Amino acid sequence: MGDWTIVGIAFGLAMDAFAVAIAVGVVLPQLTGRRVFRLAFHFGLFQFLMPVMGWLAGRSLYRWIQAFDHWVAFGLLAFIGCRMILGAFRNGSIESEDDPTRGWLLVTLSVATSIDALAVGLSLAFLRVPIWKPSVIIGLVAAILTGFGLAFGRRLGASFGRWAEGAGGLVLIGIGLRILISHLNAGGPPFP
């Protein structure tokens, strides 16, 4: 597998992380270097680890995960998207315990945006492609695009305020729906 193919895969996988980072950038009251680092690091780390896990898992686990991975991604993104939409109607900005760059919300977003990378790792195992180089590239591209997404989302949030926060929630729900529909149209089982 060529380097340009790996970079193309990395950009494709990073699009969900980029879109979620835009939505997170919209809701943050202040974009600090620490927050950018936390989100970019975690999104990059999970995008790195998931292909490795998929590659190690092999064929038997792939069949088990494939049956419901799209439902998990949809559920996580829809839940967080709904929280963001509700947050747009609350007074004030995002509360500190709802900071998407901390705690379980950060882990949830990291898992939701990297589930597709697990399937890529499984595919690479079937093709007998060594996993370390693609995983490093996938993780780095995700981390870099997450940083750009946060900065872009922050500019949107500063311009459009609560409307942008609600739109960010809708984007997350839309990403979840896209993942769900693409898997269901690919002939996967309709329910786990």
85 part of a folded domain = yes
Tokens 């490795």 found at: 52
Q: Do the domain assignments include residue 190?
A: no
Q: Answer whether residue 159 shows pLDDT above 70.
A: no
93-108: burial string, b at 16+ Cβ within 10 Å, e else? bbeeebbbbeeebbee
The tokens describing 87, both together, are 């947050």
Q: How many domains in the chain? A: 1
Per-residue model confidence as pLDDT tens digits over 75-119: 776 776 787 677 667 654 444 457 888 888 899 889 988 887 887
Structural domain contains residue 192: no
Chain segment 20-31, per-residue pLDDT in tens: 898 888 888 788
Structural domain containing residue 39: 3-185
**Encoded amino acid at 76, one letter:** L
pLDDT for 92 equals 47
Percent of residues, the chain, with pLDDT higher than 90: 22
**pLDDT at residue number 59:** 55
Is 138 within the bounds of a domain? Answer: yes
Query: Whole-structure pTM over 0.75, yes or no?
Result: no
